[in-house]
Amino acid sequence: MFAKANSLSFSKDLGRRLENFVFNKLRRSFSEIFYFKDTSSECDFLIKQNEKIVQAVQVCWEINGIKNAMAETGAKEKVIITSNQEDKLDGIDLIPGNGFDIPNSKPEQHLNFTSSLFAQT
């Protein structure tokens, strides 16, 4: 149903960089991070706390994965991280990466999105 999310490889592809940026930021605050995949969709990250999936995070425009993951796991919070768009789509907040913040995280854990994501490797 869902598997551990631990993809840390970086690529020149900006979509992968954004996904890795979000994973690394989530990893600073949460120890149990999974991804969701069923027969027709996937969701990038599921956050598990106290034996319960509490949040679904999608790092692209495709929203079927996040909707299906939430329906199947019961996660109540949802967010889609974009490169630069802020909006709401079907009740899901779209947040640009530079506005993405982890609830209850410490200020020293925050990263500079622009320099982290688009730095040349």
| Tens-digit pLDDT profile for residues 74-111 | 988 888 887 777 888 888 888 887 766 665 554 444 44
Q: Which residues, in sequence order, are CB contacts of 73 under 8 Å at separation 6+?
A: 2, 36, 46, 53, 56
Stretch 44-51: mean pLDDT: 93
Is the overall model pTM greater than 0.75, yes or no?
Answer: no
Q: Domain-by-domain residue ranges, the chain?
A: 2-101
pLDDT at 119: 45
pLDDT at 8: 43
